[in-house]
């Protein structure tokens, strides 16, 4: 059996961290990977929660949440000029149609988006940003979102951001493979 020495460091100590540096002497590679995976996924979970909490506070004066920010961001892409089907939007955001449905209803009520029957497929509904939604996104939300990014990425070099993005995309791809092997989402099954 091989022995590994794993050293994990935390960029800065806080009152929530028990140890700034942890050393695991003479444990197997498998045990090391499991321990590091536990720590990584827990930090990812905490990061997602903090993104929701602090990101929403950054755009709440515009009446937005991070979920609405994600929808407007997805709809603002040049490739989506004519709108996106609800199913495509759900797949793009990696959420269920059921979770997206209530969110879209609130955003439509607030005048940020509109939904209409897809002329190519009447069973499908297309989601598009309204003029008011575009104005809120481009002139009110985006400057605050960019300011939020600068605060959260303080101390990150362009190289750091590039590496982080690379590994997050790799992780997301692997999670998608797991989801596909598990039968995918209910929406994917409906579309087959």
Specify the CATH number for the domain of residue 66.
1.10.10.10
**Is the pTM higher than 0.75?**
yes
Residue 26 resides in a domain: no
Question: In this predicted model, which residue has the larger pLDDT, 82 or 171?
Answer: 171
Count of other CB atoms within 10 angstroms of residue 105: 12
Number of domains in the chain: 1
Would you say residue 20 lies in a domain?
no
**Axis-axis angle for helices 66-75, 97-109 (nearest 10):** 90
Closest CA to 129 of 174, 176, 90, 75: 75
pLDDT band at residue 23 using 50, 70 and 90 as cut-offs: low
Full domain range(s) for residue 91: 37-191
């Amino acid at each position: 059996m091989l022995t590994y020495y794993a050293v994990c460091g935390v960029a800065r100590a806080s009152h929530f961290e028990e140890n700034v540096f942890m050393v695991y002497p003479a444990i197997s590679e498998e045990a090391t990977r499991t321990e590091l995976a536990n720590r990584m996924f827990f930090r990812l979970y905490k990061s997602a929660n903090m993104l929701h909490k602090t990101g929403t506070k950054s755009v709440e004066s515009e009446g937005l949440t991070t979920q609405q920010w994600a929808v407007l961001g997805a709809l603002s892409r040049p490739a989506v000029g004519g709108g996106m089907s609800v199913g495509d939007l759900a797949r793009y955001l990696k959420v269920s149609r059921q979770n997206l449905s209530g969110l879209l209803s609130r955003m439509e009520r607030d005048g940020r988006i509109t939904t209409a029957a897809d002329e190519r497929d009447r069973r499908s509904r297309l989601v598009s940003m309204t003029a008011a939604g575009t104005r809120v996104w481009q002139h009110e939300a985006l400057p605050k979102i960019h300011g939020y990014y600068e605060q959260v990425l303080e101390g990150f070099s362009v190289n750091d951001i590039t590496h982080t993005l690379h590994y997050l995309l790799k992780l997301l791809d692997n999670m998608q493979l797991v989801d596909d092997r598990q039968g995918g989402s209910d929406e994917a099954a409906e579309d087959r």
